[in-house]
Structures are given as C-alpha cells and as structure tokens.
Structure 1
C-alpha cells in the first residue's frame, strides 16, 4: 500500500509528469530521425554507376535518372578535337558502386575555343620562351630571326602579324610568331655584306634551360 501511495504521489507531481512527457517526445523524435535517415540513404542498397563519358549531358541525364542517380556539371574545359558539350570526365567513375540518389559530377567539353593569356616574353631566351608557350598549351610556334646583336633573345611575340601585349588572350590553337635576335647588328643601308635572317620552327625536345 505504501508503494502504491508513493507512485500515485510521484505521478501526481507535475514536474515529474512533464519530465516523462519530454522523454517520450525525445524518444519519438530520435526514432523518426533514424527511420528518415535510413530511408534517405537507402541503407545497404547500391547500384553500378553507368558510363556516360562521350555522351551529351541530356543523354547522360536520361541514363543516370533511370539508374536512380542525380548529376551536376561542375566544369567545362577545352580539348583539341573534342565534341562541344560532350562529357569528358565523371566522378564517381563508371562501374563504381554507390547508393541510390547520389550525385555524379560531370566535366564537359567547352563550346567555345579556349583562350590563353600570353605573358610578356621580351628579353627571354628563345628556349625559355618556347618552353613557356608550350607549357601554356601552344603548339603552333614559329621562330623568326631578325637583326639584333642579342642572339636568341626574344624581341616580341606576334599573333595575326601584330605584337602581343602583356596578358593578351589568344586562342590555344593560334599560330604565334616569335621574333628572335640573330646576334648580328642591323647592317647599314648601303652595305652589301649582309646575312639574311631565318625563319624556323622550334624543336619540341628543347629543354627549358
């Protein structure tokens, strides 16, 4: 009887009753959260990522949606010979195992031609200048020797027969001409003993130094 009386008094206490209600609500919230997380992540359910490289984004979207995946285009880059809009890279890679509902990140071929900023190469050595241009991605480089007592030093870099300004952007496939000193001072106007400047294409295996 004493025990029953104690329990009645305990449950009659409003503070204790409120604590019990709060504990019950907290338990329900935790349960709902765990159930929701399990539903969202589709725990223990995984699928194979399809290969969408080479496809256009709208084509890839159909494949990925059918597989239960989302997609996001995160970057566009320019590659010579690439098809504009085609997917170049995907993360995760094809055949990877991921959960349903996850996102596949895509890199696509740019629609426009890549433009590259050309630094000021005046007074660089020919080898240094060629190496820098090749590192930037240029492949169409012509060397044109001109009269100058400073042999193999760059006088200017030209595009469309006009000297490039520092930081000027040109297409990555552009034909650029480098004016380089031939080590011979420009002869006087009436001199007949002259050496004709040369035009040549740099060797691709020349080192930076």
Structure 2
C-alpha cells in the first residue's frame, strides 16, 4: 500500500498510476492487438463471379480466403455450378481467412407449379411466364372463335394443366385461337339486298362486315348491294368469323351534324 504523507505524495501516486494505465492501453492497442489481427495487412478480394465453383474454391484458397454458399438459383442460360454473385465485391480489402458469400447456379432446375394461362391473352401469358421464370415457346394458332386467347399450354410436347409440376425455366408452347372457328357453311348471297339488311344477315350468321365500297352511277337504288366478296358461288364455303366486303350503290353517307 502506498502511504501518502502529504498532498504532494498523493499527486505523485496518481501520476504513477496514470502512466501505468496509459502504458497498458497503448500496449494493448498498438502492440498486442495488431500482432493478433494482422493490423494493416489486407487482401484484395478476387473476382469469382462467372467461374465454376471448383475453380473459385482453388482461387480463394490461394488467397487464404474461404467461401460460403448462402443462395442457389437456376438460370438456364448459364452453366451448372457457376458463381452468380459474391459478397464482398471484387477488389474489396479484407483480412485473411475472410468468408466470401456466394450464390451458385443449380445443376437441375427446381420444379414449380404451372400457372394458369388458358383463356387469357398471349400478352398476359407472357407476363405470367416471366413472373414464374418460365419462357414462352412456340405459338400455334388454331381455329377458335376466341381470337388471341390461349387455349392449351404444353411443355416438351405434353399438354400441362394449371398446377402441374414443371421445371423452372421450361419453354411453354401455346395453342392460341385465331378468332375464326371451325364451323363452315355455304356463303350466303346478299347481292340485291339493302346494305342494312345484308349486314344484319351476315352478322347473324357469325360473319364480320369488312370494307364497304360505294359505287356511283349504278342503275340500282342507292344502298343496294351490288357485289360481295367472298362470292356466293355454288359450293363456296366460309368460316365463322371471316370478313365479307360489300360494294354498294350510291354515295357514301355523310355523317350529319345533330
């Protein structure tokens, strides 16, 4: 025990204790800690994205670094076991034995549930496929009254239904309606009819009115159908949804101002 016989002795004892504490602090931070943590020594992280996992492992070992796979995904346009991401980034300064976190491309795609594309449009199907990491394949138009609507969906030539398991990244082929349908019937003749009645007749049979061409100088009353295309020949067939062009006597009606 120190004995303080005077105030001056107390001051001396405090100074000695302060020097000892300062020496301990300086020794810890400037001598002991640097010697145990390689203070001032760092390694530049190499770029390993794009490398195969085995090659990346070899490169990191040469730099006295380690790796840890914290994620894996499947990208069909990249090789299996390819490094997709790394953290820290290339060029970052780290200590020896630092762990580099990486994500790796899987060898086999995971299986996911097939989404419902049927009855939606092709554009809508493209958006859904992208959100599920699936790819649009071949589009085949087939006779159906639903124009541009997805009717069936296929993977590897096999029809798949919503909820069926398919590989992530798979190509999905689509059968899409052409808006015409399969039903064929004899082409009706509307020549000689007023254009309004002709239009009602054609639309009533599932046909569409195409171009209406007005012809001046005809002997027929204005508004009479002079010609049609397709022609109503014997044995001529037409499918539901097809267009019919009409040639009509008279001048084209002028939209009046109400």
Regarding TM over 0.5, the answer is: yes
Relative to its length, the structure with more strand (as a share) is 2
Q: Secondary structure at the match of 2:139?
A: strand
**Separation (CA, whole Å) in 2 of partners of 1:39 and 1:168:** 61
Deviations 1:136-193 (A, max 9, x none): 4444522222232222222221224432121323345544321222223431699972
**Separation (CA, whole Å) in 1 of partners of 2:109 and 2:66:** 29
2:74 counterpart residue number: 78
Q: State the number of aligned residues.
A: 170
1:46 counterpart residue number: 42
**Separation (CA, whole Å) in 2 of partners of 1:108 and 1:114:** 14
Query: With structure 1 as the length reference, what TM-score do the two structures score?
Result: 0.62
1:193 counterpart residue number: 237
Which structure 1 residue ranges, 5 or more long, are not aligned?
A: 5-27, 196-209
Whose relative contact order is higher, 1 or 2, with alpha carbons under 8 Å and at least 6 apart? Answer: 1
Q: Secondary structure at the match of 1:130?
A: helix
Q: How does 1:162-173 map to 2 (within 5 A)?
A: 162-172=158-168
Relative to its length, the structure with more helix (as a share) is 1
1:110 counterpart residue number: 106
2:139 counterpart residue number: 143
2:243 counterpart residue number: none
2:117 counterpart residue number: 121
**Separation (CA, whole Å) in 2 of partners of 1:115 and 1:79:** 13
Kindly report the root-mean-square deviation, in angstroms, between the aligned alpha carbons of the 2 structures: 3.7
- Give, in angstroms, the shift of residue 38 of structure 1: 6.1
Q: Is the 8 A contact 1:76 1:110 kept in 2?
A: yes
- Give, in angstroms, the shift of residue 57 of structure 1: 2.7
